[in-house]
Chain A
Amino acid sequence: MTAVSGTGAAAFLARYEGLRTRLPGARVAWVEALRDKAADAFRAKGFPTRRTEAWKYTDLAAVAGAAFGEPLTSVDDSPALPPATHPRAVFVDGRFRPDLSTLDGVAAQVESLGAALPRLEGRIGALARPENEPLAALNTMLFEDGLVVEVAAGAAAGTLEILSLAAESERAPAFHPRHLVRLGAGATLTIIETATGPAAARYLHNPVFEIEVAEGARLAHGRLQQEGHEGIFLSTVYAHVAAGGVYDNFTLNAGAKLARNEIHVALTGPKAEAHMNGVQMAGDGQHVDTTTSLDHAAPDCSSRQTYKTVLAGRSRGVFQGKIHVHQVAQKTDGYQMNQALLLSPDAEIDSKPQLEIYADDVKCSHGATVGELDADHLFFLRSRGIPEAQAKAMLVEAFLTEAVEAVADEPIRTALEQGVAGWWQRQGVAA
């Protein structure tokens, strides 16, 4: 059987062969080796199918069977930008746009990956695992740009926004930005990342983050996935947290036709902390997936995960959460909760918590619930004069409260609340 040219894994591999000598870092030996190795991995496995355990509930057949074009190359195109409240790095179709970015006021070194790549040996590729995650392989093979953010030891870098836009176009571009965030010992940074695109445009956004949080550093990473209705968002985050460090990830996974928010966190030093919280919201025709994997690889670490999924219309949600407590990780304190609210009989959720514990002195709990809006609660609110749609909105908001309140960082919480409100405006309450 021959692969259909122009679609799927074969098309991406062909593009790699064609671009190989022109991609950033093409003449840098370690970059070439990294990309070739990733290409080998992607060639061997291709897009994952549902026979792969990690992709049992999310079907990429539509992605594997689609044809994607080149990202936009013109810099003449200047899409309308939402107002920025902090220094902001703007990407259009995965390319950094210095002309649209305003980076003054961030106490960090911020550069485009395209420019910084040659000096990042041992950093790019340090955490990502193309051999395990095919989408990270695809990204490694084809990344052209991304953001590199480095915060010096002890620096309080404030808040940085990253805005990723898909351009209005017919070419159905695929882009694979590669981002690197490194915090030195004791440094702090808040990132608010927004991914969005036109309502009707087809595109594939396949970002990979590699994040290093050094001893005692703290990174708050808020992510608002609000891609267009026809967009595909497949994101993989790798974060390593050293002793006493904190990685606080909050993701609103609310846009796109198909979205996967995959996060791999390793707590590598004592007393490191991971907070992974999120809200997923999907309406008719949407599929949203959050998949987390957490390695407790050192003693005295703690982790908190609260994920809430709200599904309306004919939509599908997935939560998979794996916690691996290594033998050395005594006194681990782990907590994971995922809850889903189904607003429609046509909505479906798959939930798979998974605990692997190899240490004997740990505290690890997890829970999962699935439910509908409580008819008594709804009647009570309506009996007080509150219209049905508004009463439902109040109860859904109440359902999300626990996850939203877990967001300690004020700018992220504000952005999140706006994101949730925006979802309502677009969605209505389609029950």
Chain B
Amino acid sequence: MLKIENLHATVDGKQILNGLTLEIPSGEVHAIMGPNGSGKSTLSYVLAGREGYEVTEGSVSLNGVDLLAMEPEERAVAGMFLAFQAPVELPGVGNANFLRTALNAIRRARGEAEIDAMQFLKLARARMKELHMPEEMLKRPVNVGFSGGEKKRNEMLQLALLAPRFAVLDETDSGLDIDALKLVSDTVNSLRGPDFSALVITHYQRLLNHIVPDRVHVLSAGRIIKSGGPELAQELEAAGYAGVQAAA
């Protein structure tokens, strides 16, 4: 499980997270909603270990291990996965090569046997079929020339192949049409189980109709101001953040 306690973080000296506390037990999917600037993306980058996001107070542990002491690649090996809001394009890096390198890096670090190109292809093909991704997307450079929806599906392909213990989805629904939204949701739902948990960051209720969360939290000014069941998302959709912020 992921345990965040009293997390304070700054970006460029600016305080963004102000004592955020949150527990996501194994097997559960939680959603974080909140207005722009409330710290949603900062939280996702702090969890993944991006440079420039400085934790000034508090702790984060994944299955009892201190996440903040680890390098980004060590976090991935420990089971952390961040689906990026705006995935980068990597000209010159073939998608298949990238995916297999990542998969094998994690397998190697976990003491598992690496998989060869043929095994990988078989694995990737099955997952790509589920995501309605044409196979030629393996041959192209990572995300180069991909549409917004294709980039998000490529993120989901990475999620499905790397099969992490904990996934953060940072506004994965932004810019997706309804079909792509469904594919993204199917991927996350297919991973749900006792050993998997996720934090879904979103602006919109829409995604949560497909990935039904166990808990919904409202983030405002860098802390959780309200938590509730899935119905909280509907409340927010109807009343907006202002009502919740005023009540908190």
- A271-297 interface with B by 8 A CB criterion: none
Task: With both chains docked as a complex, state the minimum distance between the C-beta of B192 and any C-beta of chain A, in angstroms.
Answer: 21
Contact indicator per residue, chain A 368-401, by CB within 8 Å of chain B (1) or not (0): 0000001111011111111110110011011111
Cβ contact within 8 Å between A381 and B92: no
22 A-B residue pairings within 8 Å (CB atoms): A379-B48, A380-B84, A380-B88, A381-B102, A382-B71, A382-B72, A383-B48, A384-B73, A384-B98, A385-B73, A385-B105, A385-B106, A386-B73, A386-B102, A387-B73, A387-B105, A394-B93, A398-B91, A398-B92, A399-B92, A400-B92, A401-B92
- How far is A382 from B70 in the complex, measured between Cα atoms in Å? 12
Find out whether the CB atom of A390 lies under 8 angstroms from the CB atom of B101: yes
Apart from A374-B88, A398-B90, what 10 extra A-B contacts exist at CB < 8 Å?
A: A379-B72, A381-B98, A381-B102, A384-B76, A384-B158, A387-B73, A388-B71, A394-B93, A400-B92, A401-B91
Question: With the chains together, A384 CA to B77 CA distance in Å?
Answer: 8
| Alpha-carbon distance A164/B54, docked complex (angstroms) | 53
B93 touches A395 (CB 8 A): yes
Question: Does A402 reach chain B (CB closer than 8 Å)?
Answer: yes
Query: Is B82 an interface position by the 8 A CB rule?
Result: yes
B50 on the A face (CB < 8 A): yes
Does A379 contact B105, Cβ atoms closer than 8 Å? no
Query: Which residues of B approach A to under 8 Å, CB–CB?
Result: 48-51, 71-73, 75-77, 81-82, 84, 87-88, 90-93, 97-98, 101-102, 105-106, 109, 141, 158, 162
Tell me the A residues contacting B by CB distance below 8 Å.
374-377, 379-388, 390-391, 394-395, 397-402
Closest residue of chain A to B141 (Cβ to Cβ) is A398
Q: What are the residues of chain A within 8 A of B97 when measuring CB–CB? A: 394
With a cutoff of 8 Å between Cβ atoms, the chain B residues found around residue A382 in the complex are 49, 71-73, 76
| CB <8 Å contact, B73 and A379 | no
Once bound together, how far apart are the Cα atoms of A284 and B195, in whole Å? 47
The answer to whether A398 and B71 have CB atoms under 8 Å apart is no
Contact partners of A377 in chain B: CB under 8 A: 88, 90
Q: How far is the CA of A379 from the CA of B84 in the complex (A)?
A: 11
B75 contacts across to A, CB distance below 8 A: 383
Considering the complex, give the chain A residue whose CB is closest to the CB of B48.
A383
A398-B162 in contact (CB<8A): no
Residues on the A chain within 8 Å of B162, using CB: 384-385
Point out the residues of chain B lying under 8 angstroms from A397, CB to CB: 92-93
Q: Distance in Å from the Cβ of A156 to the closest Cβ of chain B?
A: 32
* 10 smallest beta-carbon distances between A and B, as pairs: A398-B92, A385-B76, A401-B92, A384-B102, A385-B106, A382-B72, A385-B105, A382-B73, A398-B93, A386-B105
Residues of B within 8 A of A388 (CB): 71, 73
Q: How far is the CB of A295 from chain B (nearest CB, A)?
A: 32
CA of A261 to CA of B104 in the docked complex: distance in angstroms? 39
Query: What is the distance, in angstroms, from B48's C-beta to the closest C-beta of chain A?
Result: 5
CB-CB under 8 A from A385, the residues of chain B are 73, 76-77, 102, 105-106, 109, 162
Using CB atoms, name the residue of chain B closest to A382: B72
User: Whole-angstrom distance from the CB of B130 to the nearest CB of chain A?
Assistant: 20
CA distance A334 to B93 in the complex (A): 28
Residue among A379, A391, A395 making CB contact with B50, cutoff 8 Å: A379
Say whether, besides A386-B102, A390-B105, A380 and B87 are in contact (CB < 8 Å): yes
Specify the chain A residue showing the minimal Cβ separation from B49: A383
A388 vs B74: C-alpha distance in the bound complex, in angstroms?
Answer: 10
Q: Are A380 and B90 in contact (CB under 8 A)?
A: yes
A375 to B88, CA, bound (A): 11
Q: How far is the CA of A380 from the CA of B158 in the complex (A)?
A: 12
* A375 pairs with B51, CB closer than 8 A: yes
* Minimum CB distance partner of A398 in chain B: B92
What's the minimum C-beta distance from B116 to chain A, rounded to whole angstroms? 18
The answer to whether B101 and A386 have CB atoms under 8 Å apart is: yes
Complexed CA–CA distance, A400 and B92 (Å): 8
Q: Closest approach, in angstroms, between the C-beta of A398 and any C-beta of chain B?
A: 3
**Given A385-B162, A388-B71 in contact, is the A376-B88 Cβ separation under 8 Å?**
yes
Q: Bound complex: CA of A402 vs CA of B92, how far in Å? A: 8
B173 → A minimal CB distance (Å) = 20
List chain B residues, Cβ under 8 A from A391. Answer: 73
Complex Cα–Cα for A391 and B98 (A):
10
Q: Which of A374, A382, A399 has the most CB of B within 10 A?
A: A382
Q: Say how far A407's CB is from chain B's closest CB, in angstroms.
A: 15
Chain B positions within 8 Å of A402 at CB level = 92
Is B72 within 8 A of A383, CB to CB? yes
A399–B93 Cα distance when bound, in Å, is: 9
B70, chain A: closest CB distance, angstroms: 11
Say yes or no: A394-B101 contact (C-beta < 8 A), given A384-B158, A385-B162.
Answer: yes
Chain B neighbourhood of A380, CB < 8 A: 84, 87-88, 90
**Of B71, B92, B97, most A-chain CB atoms within 10 Å:** B92
A271-B63 Cα distance, complex, nearest whole Å? 68
Which of chain A's residues has its CB closest to B73's CB? Answer: A382
Q: How far is the CA of A94 from the CA of B73 in the complex (A)?
A: 49
The interface residues of chain A lying within 8 Å CB-to-CB of B102 are 381, 384-386
A384, A388, A397, A398 — most chain B CB neighbours (10 Å): A384
Bound form: Cα–Cα A383–B102 in Å: 9
Contacts of A381 in B (CB 8 A): 90, 98, 102
